[in-house]
Chain A
Amino acid sequence: MDVLIERFHLFFDGFLLTLQVCVVAGVLALAFGIVAAVCRISPIPPLRWLGTAYVTVFRNVPLTVVLFFTVFGLPIIGNRAEFLKIHGLDRLFPRLTIDLPYFRLVCLGLAIYTGAFVCEALRSGVNAVASGQSEAARALGLTFIQNLRYVVLPQAWKAAIVPLGTVLVAMAKNSALAGFFGLVGDLSATMQTLVSQEGEPLIPVMIGISFWYLLMTIPASLVLDTVERRRKLA
């Protein structure tokens, strides 16, 4: 059990790095998902096809394969996700601007994958709005954009928030793959270093790693459950 106390800083730093991956990938995933959802509900067929293709592909391919593509494939064609080197953000996320691309590439892969699920969550929200609502809006002469802006989206947002939260919690769990794709020092990489290289006993490491992951996922799930229950009563 000593490893938990002596190596506390290792676990804690790993937790912080995993949290950073989650925040960066989460923001990107929301962006991708919103764009894809807009494409999927737009009246323009090519955009709808594009959105549908994106969602179909990334919902049906394992995250592992997606990460192989982004982390090992992108550098081959000369892309090291330099566009994520945003100066000013490096105070919060120091790994964004360093030379090693793994942090950026892992975040990118995770975001592309999660974006498809975000899109589906948003679309399920739009679908949950009773069709009479937007029919009424159309009968009043609202345009497509007005219809979305004043009638559909405000209601869709409420229906989408729980699925969206579920998707983001799943992403936080999926971020554990980062440590197997070259990212140094996050929780899962720390676990491998401690167990495989330094030969620390398995059980204490297991308890420590589980604790930090559960610290992220269980409170989030509890909040989501509460929101869902309130929504049902209301």
Chain B
Amino acid sequence: MSRAEVDVELSLHTSRRRGRAPSASVLYDAPGPRARRTIWIGSALAAAVVLFLGWRFVYRPLEATGQFSLDLWGPFVDSSNNHCPGAVPHCFDQIWPRLGQGLLATLRAAGLAILASLVFGLALAGLRIQLKHLMTRRYRHLPAPLAWSARGLTVGLNGLTRVCVEVLRGMPVVITIFFVARGLPELGLPPQATMWYLVIGLTLYNAIVIAEVVRSGMEGLPKGQREAASSLGLSSTQTITLVLLPQAVRIMLPAIISQLVVVLKDTSLGFIISYNELLNIGKLAIQLLHNPLQMYFVIGLTYLAFNYALSRLADWTQRRLARGGV
């Protein structure tokens, strides 16, 4: 058998195996009759245990405290507004539009933070690669004092960006947002701009994470890429923007998208600075409707839907990239 035939045979083999049981790993063989019986019995037992635990620790406490009553779910499902507390007689008509506004606010903050993180992240990645490259230069053609100050400047800038990256990356993003919201008004930003505090706080953290991801992507590229670019006469800025950055972004796209999921999730931190996003609106509504568990459930489902879609996008890109196309 020639090499090519072996490859075809192998790929057929794996695809056949994948086709039979997509989620099965290589850890065990395709089960025979006896193993299948064991798996059936095991499945039945496991399902019974899981159902029992779910009933005992989830359903029963919920039932016992009346969490399934229409008084609590009414505001979400009863369009005749018959189950509203006295303070808000038209709760069904109001709750969904309010939650919709909250969702829009969340998506707006997330969108701005994602955009800013990408722009600043890519710029920072380029800057750090540029500085690292400049560190190797000796400026022989310049007079000595100039050369020394140029080298000092690059070393200083390199150290400064490094310190900023390490500090901001090591800080909890809640703390960063808190400090931004407290610190910026002292510098003269209007205190009403809560959305911008959230966006700035999220950007400070996520831009740096994205920058590090892209930078490691650029450093992982073969050295020949940079050398080829230089031999074609591209300047070092052109090398980064035309050659290194596009390839690094392409390789790191799945990691970048999963970081964007993190941004969307972290917009929920807006509640600590009273930005009226989904979670905060839910919190305010709970004070009137007195249905915290149901409200968290609806909000949790909303986040789940949006983030799941983004995660699927990340998986899909990863598969496309693994196949070799974009």
A contact set with B: CB distance below 8 Å: 41, 43-48, 50, 56-57, 59-65, 68-69, 72-73, 76-79, 126-127, 131, 134-135, 138, 144, 147-148, 152, 173-177, 180, 188, 191-192, 195, 202-203, 206, 209-210, 213-214, 217-218, 221
Contact B300 A173 (CB under 8 A): no
12 contacts between A and B (CB under 8 A): A43-B24, A46-B43, A47-B50, A65-B296, A68-B279, A73-B293, A77-B61, A77-B293, A148-B27, A213-B175, A214-B170, A217-B171
B209 CB, nearest partner CB in chain A, Å: 11
Query: Does B133 lie at the interface of the complex (its beta carbon under 8 Å from any beta carbon of A)?
Result: no
Contact A78 B304 (CB under 8 A): no
Contact A214 B65 (CB under 8 A): no
Residues of A within 8 A of B29 (CB): 138
Count of A-B residue pairs with CB < 8 Å: 142
Residue of B at shortest CB range from A147?
A: B27
B contact set with A: CB distance below 8 Å: 23-29, 31, 39, 42-43, 46-47, 50, 61-62, 64-65, 67, 166-167, 169-175, 178-179, 182-183, 186, 261, 265-266, 268-269, 271-272, 279, 292-293, 296, 299-300, 303-304, 307-308, 311
What does DSSP make chain A's interface, helix, strand, loop or mixed? Answer: helix
Contact B303 A61 (CB under 8 A): yes
Contact among A59, A65, A177, A188 for B299, CB-based, below 8 A: A65
B321 CB, nearest partner CB in chain A, Å: 17
Contact among A60, A78, A134 for B308, CB-based, below 8 A: A60
Residue of B at shortest CB range from A69?
A: B296
Residue of A at shortest CB range from B294?
A: A73
Residues of A within 8 A of B268 (CB): 62, 64-65
Please provide the 10 A-B residue pairs with the shortest distance between their CB atoms, ordered closest to farther.
A176-B172, A60-B307, A217-B170, A62-B268, A77-B61, A173-B172, A62-B265, A64-B268, A131-B26, A46-B47
